[in-house]
Structure 1
Amino acid sequence: MDTNVEVVSAQLSATPISVDAAIAAVESDAAGAVVSFSGVVRNHDGGKDVTRLSYSAHPLALGVLSEIVGSLAQSTADPDGHPVRIWVAHRVGALEIGDPALVCAVASSHRAEAFELCSALVERIKAEVPIWKEQFFSDGSVEWVGAGNVPEQSPPENQ
């Protein structure tokens, strides 16, 4: 990994996550820009009222998340040569309306790199990390929404 990128945190969390904590974790004297994203549980989807969500992660989801962060970190460089700092977490378990489900923060010397990396993190996490959302609607119906793909895993070798 590029020595000018510091992954402060890349985690799946069963406990609440905070954009304020993410920002505080990446801030530094060298950072001229701190960009954050907080994806929160909304009260509607597809014209229906949502009451709550639950996220489930494949056992390999944390590894996929770490690979994404590592891959993006390798392709990122701060124009001034100062460390780019990354913090990202996705919730698992039960969430209520307004709870943060995905939080990312990126600090860099300049805003362009911070915006670009934060956006790329969010897009790749949503597309690639095998986390599934179970939505509970006010009419009593439930819907599963897939995010990412199930990673290929080799079967364990017989010993």
Structure 2
Amino acid sequence: MSVSLHPKPFDPWTLVATHQAGVAAGRFGATAVFVGTMRDFNEGDDVRAMTLEHYPGMTEKHLEAIVAQARERWTLEDCLIAHRVGAIEPGEPIVVTAVWSAHRREAFEACRFLMEELKHRAPFWKREALADGGTRWVEKNTEG
């Protein structure tokens, strides 16, 4: 299992490939990956940038608990969550979740579970910089 927070841009595909190199070869037949990228719009407004705040230590513990719950529900070989924090620009990856399992159903279901639980439970706060010069805190996440 790997949970990490990144204050600078990252390449999600490199993180997945690097992590997969450490997963026991032959133990998995399926890998499910989700990559979330910052949009340049939200709630009908143009968005120029976003700042993603968190509580160091607490946020990682929440993410680790979500992974532990997934591992209790499904038979998984490994999981990965990498998430941006700090200043983010449109087009930059914000999050990657990946799951390795013997079978595709478990990989798909667990990967979606990680992402949905992360969006609803992990302590992150988003402040958007709007094209009109204003800023606002995002009060709710968009539906999956």
TM-score of the two chains, using structure 2 as the length reference: 0.86
CA–CA distance in 2 between the matches of 1:147 and 1:89? 21
**Within-5 A mapping of 1:115-154:** 115-146=108-139
In structure 1, the gaps of 5 or more residues are: 1-6, 79-83, 149-159
Aligned partner (choices 80, 85, 96) of residue 89 of structure 2:
96
Per the TM alignment, residue 22 of structure 1 is displaced from its structure 2 partner at its CA by 3.4
CA–CA distance in 2 between the matches of 1:49 and 1:146? 17
Asked if structure 2 preserves the Cα contact closer than 8 Å seen for 1:126 and 1:147, the reply is no
Task: Report the 3-state secondary structure (helix = DSSP H, G, I; strand = E; otherwise coil) of the residue aligned with 1:102.
Answer: strand
Per-residue displacement from partner, 1:59-78 (whole Å, max 9, x unpaired)?
41111111111122122215
Asked if structure 2 preserves the Cα contact closer than 8 Å seen for 1:132 and 1:147, the reply is no
Aligned match of 1:155: none
In structure 2, the gaps of 5 or more residues are: none
Q: Number of matched residues?
A: 136
Amino acid at match of 1:57: H
Amino acid at match of 1:86: C
Q: Are residue 31 (structure 1) and residue 16 (structure 2) matched?
A: no
CA–CA distance in 1 between the matches of 2:53 and 2:84? 9
Aligned partner (choices 36, 58, 61) of residue 59 of structure 2:
61
TM-score of the two chains, using structure 1 as the length reference: 0.78
Deviates more, 1:20-29 or 1:135-144: 20-29
CA RMSD of aligned residues (A): 1.7
Percent of residue pairs identical: 34
Aligned match of 1:152: none
Aligned match of 1:10: 3
- Which protein shows a greater Rg? 1
Per the TM alignment, residue 29 of structure 1 is displaced from its structure 2 partner at its CA by 3.2
Task: Report the 3-state secondary structure (helix = DSSP H, G, I; strand = E; otherwise coil) of the residue aligned with 1:12.
Answer: strand
Aligned match of 2:71: 73
**Within-5 A mapping of 1:39-50:** 39-50=36-47
